[in-house]
Amino acid sequence: MSNSNLEGKHMSFSEITANPAPLGLLGFGMTTVLLNIHNAGFFPINPMIIAMGIFYGGFAQIVAGIMEFKKNNTFGTTAFTSYGFFWLSFAALNLLPMLGLGEPTSSEAMGAYLFMWGLFTLVMFIGTLRISRALQVVFGSLALLFFLLAIGNFTGSAMIMTIAGYEGIICGFSAIYAGLAQVINELYKKNLMPLGEVN
């Protein structure tokens, strides 16, 4: 039986459900890469990013968080459900003005929004110090990404936003690696893709 690598606890003897962490990490990682290709300046925000944010970044991570709840994994439940709702809220921030349900979010308000997510992620990063090196990279680079995006919005600096975009692409691919590594390692029953688990 596999265990959820988002906390590293052994499952109870009767636990037979699958490890939800790869689903959550891939939902986060793939959506993050696509959004930050936009932040790096390659294409404008568009329905592809919003759709990924709602369905894979949003709903898939929430499902993963609910599955982590079943596994008694507080860290995984908190992380995946929180970031799932982050993506839904991000999609709403872009969609509501288009639907005439409010004015576009100001740069200052967006900066405050991103800064709060940065604080949350920084504390979650401390939790990863008990889990694995792979997740330390994911959460550490994500905290940096949120703070860079917050500064970019507060200052209006296009250069900082571009730097954040490239850093976010790295962050997203680190999550994709962490998710796929768990799938491959479980299938082959050996550590083919190291995660640097903390003992």
Residues near 73 by beta carbon (within 8 Å), at least 6 away in sequence: 4, 6, 7, 9
Concatenate the DSSP letters of all residues of 97-140 into one string: HHTTSSPPPPHHHHHHHHHHHHHHHHHHHHHHTTTBHHHHHHHH
pLDDT, residue 4, reads 54
pLDDT, residue 52, reads 97
pLDDT, residue 69, reads 95
pLDDT, residue 16, reads 79
Are 21 and 188 a contacting pair, CB within 8 Å?
A: no
Measured at the CA of 64, the angle between CA 89 and CA 56, to 5 degrees, comes to 50
pLDDT in tens, 120-161: 999 999 999 999 999 999 999 999 999 999 999 999 999 999
State how far the Cα of 30 lies from the Cα of 48, in Å rounded to an integer: 12
pLDDT, residue 17, reads 87
pLDDT, residue 9, reads 47
- Residue 132 phi/psi, 5-degree rounding, is -160, 155
pLDDT by position in tens, the chain (length 199)? 344 556 544 444 456 789 999 999 999 999 999 999 999 999 999 999 999 999 999 999 999 999 999 999 999 999 999 999 999 999 999 999 998 998 999 999 999 999 999 999 999 999 999 999 999 999 999 999 999 999 999 999 999 999 999 999 999 999 999 999 999 999 999 999 999 999 7
